[in-house]
């Protein structure tokens, strides 16, 4: 299921903060904001057991102070990531991804981090991703090669990537901007959780 199609069904009113750490928001968030933060955190972290690899992809986009420019950056890189994700799925699963996407697809849980960085630091936006449902015969070296080749084809990707075995702490780590009140860092439109990943 594409998470972007299901997030609207989350009942924010009935969520508690039992899974999320105490808020480290840069301001005092409203009750609605806290519920959204809880929903985002819980939604990502509940898939932690299915994350096989922790991936970081650097972009060429330097953080902007101007809010309008920052929003344009986010839209641009999310569009870039959408194309990257389609190519990645095709390279890993071939035509099986199109025929049976709920079985032959990578689980992708992306977070776009960096919008809270100080512009003076010349820091770049980057993706943290939890990846699961990797074919059993594909090792980390092969997956890294495929990811690098496809990320190189994007408009904003830098050839600076990291991949390591995933663990439960990874999903908590990559949602740290959510803890600071930035729920927009979650790239819902490009997140994908195949049904088979939930039962493996």
pLDDT at 65: 60
Q: Are 128 and 56 in contact (CB under 8 A)?
A: yes
- pLDDT at residue number 18: 41
Least confident of 115-119, 128-132, 174-178, 182-186: 115-119
Instruction: Give the lowest-confidence range in 66-75, 114-123, 124-133, 154-163.
Output: 114-123
So what's the pLDDT on residue 199? 67
Mean pLDDT check: name the lowest of 37-41, 42-46, 186-190.
37-41
Please name the fold of domain 3-9+49-199. Alpha-Beta Plaits (3.30.70)
Give the CA dihedral 35, 41, 42, 47, nearest 10 degrees.
160
Domain range summary for the chain, segments of one domain joined by +? 3-9+49-199
Q: Encode 45-74: b = buried (16+ Cβ within 10 Å), e = exposed.
A: bebbebbbbbbbbbbebebeeeeeebeebb
pLDDT of residue 5: 40
- CA atoms of 157 and 154, how far apart (whole Å): 6
Nearest to 186 by CA among 52, 45, 50: 45
Contact 105, 194 (CB under 8 A): yes
pLDDT value, residue 8: 38
* % of the chain residues with pLDDT over 70: 75
pLDDT tens-place string over residues 92-107 = 999 999 899 999 999 9
Whether pLDDT at 28 is above 90: no
Return the closest-CA partner of residue 59 out of 14, 113, 125. 125
pTM value is 0.78
pLDDT at 52: 95
- Tens of pLDDT, residue by residue over 105-138, are 999 999 998 865 555 556 788 999 999 999 999 9
């Amino acid at each position: 299921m594409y998470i972007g199609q299901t997030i609207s069904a989350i009942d924010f009113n009935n969520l508690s903060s039992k899974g999320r750490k105490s808020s480290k928001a840069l301001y005092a968030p409203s009750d609605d904001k806290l519920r959204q933060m809880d929903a985002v955190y819980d939604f990502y972290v509940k898939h932690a057991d299915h994350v096989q690899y922790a991936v970081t992809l650097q972009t060429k986009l330097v953080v902007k102070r101007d809010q309008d420019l920052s929003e344009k950056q986010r839209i641009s890189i999310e569009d870039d990531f959408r194309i990257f994700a389609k190519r990645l799925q095709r390279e890993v699963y071939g035509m099986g991804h199109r025929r049976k996407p709920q079985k032959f697809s990578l689980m992708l849980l992306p977070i776009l981090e960096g919008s809270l960085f100080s512009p003076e630091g010349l820091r770049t936006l980057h993706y943290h991703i939890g990846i699961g449902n990797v074919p059993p015969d594909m090792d980390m070296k092969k997956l890294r090669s495929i990811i690098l080749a496809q990320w190189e084809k994007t408009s904003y990707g830098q050839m600076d990537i990291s991949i390591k075995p995933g663990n439960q702490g990874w999903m908590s780590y990559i949602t740290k901007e959510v803890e600071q009140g930035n729920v927009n860092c979650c790239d819902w439109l490009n997140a994908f959780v195949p049904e088979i990943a939930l039962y493996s």
